[in-house]
Structure 1
Amino acid sequence: MSEAGVWRAILTGARPWVLFEHGTCVVLTEPEGDLAHQATELLRTFGPVRGGGAAGDFGVITLDEGGGWLVTSYRPDVLTHVAPGEPPAESDVTIGLFGRSKRHRDATELHVVHVEDVAGPA
């Protein structure tokens, strides 16, 4: 399944979302205008990891049926998918650190790969 397909199954079309190259998804709770631009600005502001603060915090949610993990951030609208076999080990700490590093890459590279509006894929 494609990364966009994974997110489509997780989010079930409740709100628009934007997927970035390394698996980070920004869910737009108050969408307006250009969704890719709005998500890019949110990720640019709230995605980079900064030591000693909330930006370094994460949680790990195990997905059903071997779908991997979601790594949360201090922003509930910014999530990163980690696929099975992607992290070097399968402890929550390792998965969380790996997902957090993917989020940081997405927040600094800012390469949108998919936009999903509630009306369907864009």
Structure 2
Amino acid sequence: MSTVDNQTLIDAWRRLLTGSGKSWVLFAHGTCVVLEQPTGDVAEQAVGILGEFGPMHVATAAGDFRVLELNQGEGWLVTSHHPDVITFVPRDDPEDPSHLAVGLLGRSRRDLDGTELSVVHVEVTPAS
């Protein structure tokens, strides 16, 4: 499994979330925790969510995912059993672009992010 450089991931998430009014925290393998109502330390809040909902467990809801192809053709979003935990998979990353292969790749990256919990970027949107 290849890794995507941090700046590519940051740029992609900025494009995806521009204008959403939401704060977000990006982890090393492309998983993003989107926070509608952040409280206190945003990174700490995201680490708590991803630590609980990121690791994959077979035959549980943690193994579920859905693949959403982005209209801009830049890749896919792989959702999880938590509505605020999403993994970005760039278009040129998977060898097999089928939804199943992309979903499995995104899920494995979420699992890595949920166990390593390595924050690479925090974007805080001011409260309105």
**TM band (smaller chain):** over 0.9
Does residue 34 (structure 1) correspond to residue 18 (structure 2)? The answer is no
Alignment identity in percent? 51
Q: How far, CA to CA, are the matches of 1:103 and 1:72 in structure 2?
A: 9
When the two chains are superposed, the root-mean-square deviation of aligned CA atoms in Å is 1.1
- Which of 59, 64, 68 lines up with 1:57 in the alignment? 64
Does residue 48 (structure 1) correspond to residue 52 (structure 2)? The answer is no
Q: How far, CA to CA, are the matches of 1:2 and 1:51 in structure 2?
A: 30
Which residue in the other structure is 2:79 paired with? Answer: 72
Moved over 3 A (4+): none
The alignment's TM-score, normalised by the length of structure 1, stands at 0.93
- Which of 112, 121, 124 lines up with 1:117 in the alignment? 124
The alignment's TM-score, normalised by the length of structure 2, stands at 0.89
> Which residues of structure 1 form unaligned runs of 5+?
none
Q: How far, CA to CA, are the matches of 1:52 and 1:29 in structure 2?
A: 29
Q: Give 1:9-20 correspondences, 5 Å limit.
A: 9-12=15-18, 13-20=20-27
Residue-pair matches, total: 119
The 3-state SS of whatever aligns with 1:64 is coil
- Which deviations, in whole Å up to 9, do the C-alpha atoms of 1:78-99 show, x marking residues without a partner? 0000011211201000000000
